[in-house]
Chains A and B, each alone.
Chain A
Amino acid sequence: MIGRYVLVKVARSLLTLWLIVTFSFVVLATTGDPLDALVGDDAPQEVIDQYAQRYGFDRPLHEQYFKYLKAVATFDFGISYSDETPVADLILEALPKTLQLGLTSLVGGLLLGVGLGVLAAVKRNTAVDRFVMGFAVFGFSIPNFFFGILLILLFSLQLRLLPSAGSDSLAHLILPAVTLGTSMAGAFARFTRSAVLEVLGKTYMHAAHARGIAARARLFRHALPNAAIPLVTILGLRLGDVVAGAIVTESVFAWPGLGRLLVNAVSARELAVVMGTLIFAATSIILANLTVDLLYGWIDPRMRSSRRV
């Protein structure tokens, strides 16, 4: 049965991917002639033909479609029509920067958010709880672009402590990572709090109390492992938000990652770059969600047994 569960999940992910790639092909094939962008208006016919032949624009559409599917599968997203750089190169160049920013803020946001969430749950209905929840609401309500600008105002322009744009040093990482991490910490704190509260109300927690297990051991050995299960799911679902948040945050801080590549490409109408980045980001998100789905079945034994029924 677990094989069937995995199979359905994988099939669904593949279907989503196929939709994305097809959407992207339709966009690329229907909007304007890439030759215009490549060779300019007054190019002689033989030059146009030469380019058309080189990039396969002279082939029938269905042939181009299969060629495109095959190319995408081998990480070939075509070329940027402004300077003929392969899109894949642009992506690979920006990827480490995005990973650096994304992972820093994810790890920071997770540690801070889970810590605060557990604290709020344990001290529920106290000033600590209210303070943490206030921070959480602030964190996930404030738009990234506004929070980023406030941070620049305070730390770059007023205090002159940190750089506001670029990615040359670790100091450049601080402000964007704080911007992105705060919104994640807010969401994680709120979610962790409710997950822990739910576990704390369970009968087995009362049983553990009755058996005389110390409060600390009850929290760390009994409550937290159980509360971690829903947290893994939210982690997977949040990844999409991380990508969306990174698009804006990278633009605010001129961080040369995938988000800024995408935004600049949209502004410049570089469709091949836009679609390549879209396919790449979508694939990463879908793979992450798939991993979480499969992990979920592995972490939570109840999922496995219930599926067998």
Chain B
Amino acid sequence: MVKKTACGALQIWGEMPPLIRVSVVFLGLILLISLGADLLAPYDYRSQDLLNRLAPPAFLGGDWAHPLGTDQLGRDLLSRLIYATRFSILVAFLGTCIGAVLGTGLGFLAARTRGLGEETIMMFVDFQASLPFMLLALAVLAFMGDSFILFILLMGVYGWEVFARLSRGMVLSAVSDEYALAVRMLGGSSWRVYAMHVLPNIFAGLMVQFTLNFPQTILLETSLSFLGLGIKPPLTSLGQMLGAGRSHILYAWWISVFPGLVIFLTTLSFSIFGDWVRDRLDPTLRGERGAVNR
């Protein structure tokens, strides 16, 4: 079984265009950094060294004790970058998970209930889709204050409507498929059909949506933290680092440029990879692309 999975992974790797491979490797690196932050970071991300402020990175003539230099409080930038990556990935991951579960659940509910319940859920879907979430997020942040948990919940509310719309559509088409009808005829309850048969069948589609929503959530978190309204010190995130480094940009550009690069490359890799997976899984899109490339 293990051998089989390994073979499958190798085969998929073989089918990847070079660009996709680069993004996958980069994403793997980001994952490793996020998981192993405690082992990788040379310093505590909060420990200050006021005598050694704004030290330049090693490649600009700085000391190798701080390979990426230090910030305005003398904190090691490499360590901060590693922890900021972990926080940003963690917040985006939790947020996207909450959104996926919430949205998929409501999508199933809408498909199951039909009628007024469905109308209400879809009304909220349309409501959220019609406005930029950034606006709503700012309005909510204005009154709910500095709560880390609430901030993650807010990230979770972002993007649920995409999952709701997607899963409702997929469920509606899946329940009329023959396999679902067969289970119903054999006496399976409708919840059994949903949980045991329809969900596994639409799971791949939901996963693709997850990889496409994830970078969007990273961008939302980093934007809000950049504006000073998301993750706040003493915690850090890539956006928070970038926003805080902005006031020192005149003499220490590296403080803001490194986190910016990590955000850019991570979201870019995710989008490239997500697009590729979607095209692979969706035979109709593949057909279109084939026709276009003719």
Q: List chain A positions with a Cβ less than 8 A from chain B.
A: 12, 15-16, 19-20, 23-24, 27, 31, 124-125, 137, 141-146, 149-150, 152-153, 157, 197, 201, 240-241, 243-244, 247-248, 251-252, 262-263, 265-267, 269-271, 274-275, 278, 281-282, 285-286, 289
Given known contacts A248-B226, A289-B130, A24 and B138 CB-to-CB distance under 8 angstroms? no
- In the complex, which residues of chain A have a beta carbon less than 8 angstroms from the beta carbon of B291? 201
- In the complex, which residues of chain B have a beta carbon less than 8 angstroms from the beta carbon of A144? 223
Interface of A is mostly: helix
* B224-265 near A? 1/0 per residue, CB < 8 Å: 001111000000000100110010011001001100110110
Residue in B246, B271, B293 whose Cβ sees the most chain A Cβ within 10 Å? B246
Are B227 and A251 interface neighbours, CB within 8 A? yes
CA distance in complex: A271, B139 (Å) = 8
Q: Give the number of A-B contacts (CB < 8 Å).
A: 121
The 3 residue pairs across chains A and B that have the minimum distance between CB atoms: A146-B260, A244-B134, A244-B132
- In the complex, which residues of chain A have a beta carbon less than 8 angstroms from the beta carbon of B143? 27, 31, 269, 271, 274
Residue A274 contacts which of B138, B222, B267, B293 (CB distance < 8 angstroms)? B138
Given known contacts A125-B293, A143-B263, A149 and B135 CB-to-CB distance under 8 angstroms? no
* B98-124 near A? 1/0 per residue, CB < 8 Å: 000000000000000000000000010
Residue B139 contacts which of A12, A143, A248, A274 (CB distance < 8 angstroms)? A274
B219 within 8 A of partner (CB): yes
Least Cβ–Cβ distance between A187 and chain B, in angstroms: 12
CA distance in complex: A281, B260 (Å) = 28
CA distance in complex: A244, B132 (Å) = 6
Are A142 and B292 interface neighbours, CB within 8 A? no
- In the complex, which residues of chain A have a beta carbon less than 8 angstroms from the beta carbon of B130? 16, 240, 285-286, 289
Are A143 and B138 interface neighbours, CB within 8 A? no
A-B contact pairs, 21 of them (CB 8 A): A15-B127, A16-B127, A19-B127, A125-B293, A137-B268, A141-B267, A143-B219, A143-B222, A143-B267, A146-B263, A150-B257, A150-B260, A153-B249, A153-B253, A157-B253, A244-B135, A248-B134, A252-B246, A267-B228, A271-B142, A286-B131
* Closest A residue to B246 using CB positions: A149
B97 within 8 A of partner (CB): no
Are B249 and A141 interface neighbours, CB within 8 A? no
Given known contacts A265-B142, A266-B142, A143 and B229 CB-to-CB distance under 8 angstroms? no
Given A143-B222, A144-B223, 20 more A-B residue pairs with CB atoms under 8 Å apart are A16-B127, A27-B139, A27-B142, A27-B143, A143-B263, A145-B223, A145-B239, A149-B246, A157-B249, A240-B131, A243-B132, A243-B134, A244-B134, A244-B135, A247-B135, A266-B229, A271-B142, A274-B139, A278-B135, A282-B131
- In the complex, which residues of chain B have a beta carbon less than 8 angstroms from the beta carbon of A23? 139
* Closest B residue to A193 using CB positions: B292
- In the complex, which residues of chain B have a beta carbon less than 8 angstroms from the beta carbon of A152? 249
Interface size on B, residues (CB 8 A): 42
Are A24 and B227 interface neighbours, CB within 8 A? no
- In the complex, which residues of chain B have a beta carbon less than 8 angstroms from the beta carbon of A197? 292
Interface of B is mostly: helix
Given known contacts A248-B226, A266-B229, A141 and B271 CB-to-CB distance under 8 angstroms? yes
* Closest A residue to B124 using CB positions: A19
CA distance in complex: A152, B131 (Å) = 30
Given known contacts A143-B219, A145-B223, A146-B242, A24 and B139 CB-to-CB distance under 8 angstroms? yes
B177 within 8 A of partner (CB): no
Given known contacts A27-B143, A274-B138, A263 and B229 CB-to-CB distance under 8 angstroms? yes
B27 within 8 A of partner (CB): no
Least Cβ–Cβ distance between A166 and chain B, in angstroms: 16
Least Cβ–Cβ distance between B92 and chain A, in angstroms: 13
Are A282 and B135 interface neighbours, CB within 8 A? yes
- In the complex, which residues of chain A have a beta carbon less than 8 angstroms from the beta carbon of B223? 143-145, 248
Residue A263 contacts which of B133, B222, B227, B261 (CB distance < 8 angstroms)? B227
* Closest B residue to A32 using CB positions: B143
Are B138 and A263 interface neighbours, CB within 8 A? yes
Least Cβ–Cβ distance between B12 and chain A, in angstroms: 22
* B132-157 near A? 1/0 per residue, CB < 8 Å: 11111011011100000000000000
Residue A278 contacts which of B139, B228, B229, B264 (CB distance < 8 angstroms)? B139
- In the complex, which residues of chain B have a beta carbon less than 8 angstroms from the beta carbon of A31? 143
* B55-92 near A? 1/0 per residue, CB < 8 Å: 00000000000000000000000000000000000000
B126 within 8 A of partner (CB): yes
